[in-house]
Amino acid sequence: MSLKSKFIGALIGSAIGDALGAPLEGNSMEEVNFGGDWKMISGRYTDDTEMMIGVAESLIENRGFNGADMAVKFIQNYHARRGYGPGSKEALRRIRGGESWEDASGKLFGGKGSYGNGAAMRIAPVGIFYYDNADKLREIAYKSSHVTHSHELGKEGAALQAFSIALAVQGTEKEAMLHDLKEFVKNVIYKEKLRKIEALLAEEADKKAIVFELGNGQEAFNSVPTAIYSFLRFDSFKDAVVYAISLGGDTDTIGAMTGAISGAYYGEGAIPVEWVERLEEGKKGRSYIKWLGEELYRVKFFND
């Protein structure tokens, strides 16, 4: 499979997971499991994709990371109706008010910064662009998180999600992937979650156990591992993303993160066409998102 297809797959996959999960956000696992067929209801994406677009645009225009510009992209793309989290909203409000991107996010939550999944949910462009350099990937994942999410757990969640996408681009065997992720991650909370993923995969655990052990919430450590698990457990884009959303909770973000890893692994062609066609079009819709994937590929390999 071509690398270009994986680059596009990661971005489109992320947007698809977001749009598919969006109507169910905040419902419990029991409420989400209605037993019906999984259809894309509106095809509208949320803040996850809107911010992912900003990350991609900024990496392309700057041929790499530029924090001040990335913050500007987030502010320019912002539409309140996309449902932004409180951390991102407040950080962007401060930056718009004149604070630097280095300082703004650190003032949130009593000076601790946010450990929500708002940085991990948008990280797909970083995961593909730096897929072949783990140190650089970690550095840029942390920095791009810092624009809105400065807590160590928020940054580490974004780096872990980015590295999962990178391994998927590389086509790493799933068994080896868990090992590589354990080597990569530095924080003990995430190390423990990765150990749990391994145990839960071995026993084919039920959904209740997954939600209990890995989480389905808005904290990065209660959603990034859940997305990784959903990807590892199944053999197709569709099965992984449907499963991730069926766990309830922060469905759009867990769907987006599972979709990003799965799209990077299986490529654009493995994403169900009926979902892609339902994904919203327009100025920054599915064609534009696909183009961003192509551009990231072009800038990385041809740099013209």
Interface residues with Mg ion (CB under 5 A)?
Answer: 46-48, 252
Nearer of residues 6 and 286 to Mg ion, judged by Cβ: 286
CA–CA distance from 105 to each of 89, 99, 116, 127, 285 (Å)?
10, 10, 12, 22, 28
Nearer of residues 50 and 178 to Mg ion, judged by Cβ: 50
- In whole angstroms, how close is the CB of 231 to Mg ion at the nearest point? 19
- In whole angstroms, how close is the CB of 218 to Mg ion at the nearest point? 9
Classify residue 304 as exposed, middle or buried by CB count within 10 Å of its CB (0-12, 13-18, 19+).
exposed
- In whole angstroms, how close is the CB of 217 to Mg ion at the nearest point? 13
Number of CB atoms found within 10 A of residue 188's CB: 8
- In whole angstroms, how close is the CB of 293 to Mg ion at the nearest point? 20
Nearer of residues 47 and 90 to Mg ion, judged by Cβ: 47
Q: Residue with CB nearest Mg ion?
A: 46
Nearer of residues 27 and 172 to Mg ion, judged by Cβ: 27
Cβ atoms of 138 and 159 within 8 Å: the answer is yes
Nearer of residues 156 and 252 to Mg ion, judged by Cβ: 252
SS3 call for 103: helix
Partners of 116 in the β-ladder: 219
Nearer of residues 57 and 252 to Mg ion, judged by Cβ: 252
DSSP-assigned letters across all residues of 228-251: HHHHHH-SSHHHHHHHHHHT-SSH
**Whole-number Å distance between alpha carbons of 191 and 225:** 10
**Whole-number Å distance between alpha carbons of 29 and 22:** 14
- In whole angstroms, how close is the CB of 119 to Mg ion at the nearest point? 13
- In whole angstroms, how close is the CB of 185 to Mg ion at the nearest point? 24
Partners of 179 in the β-ladder: none
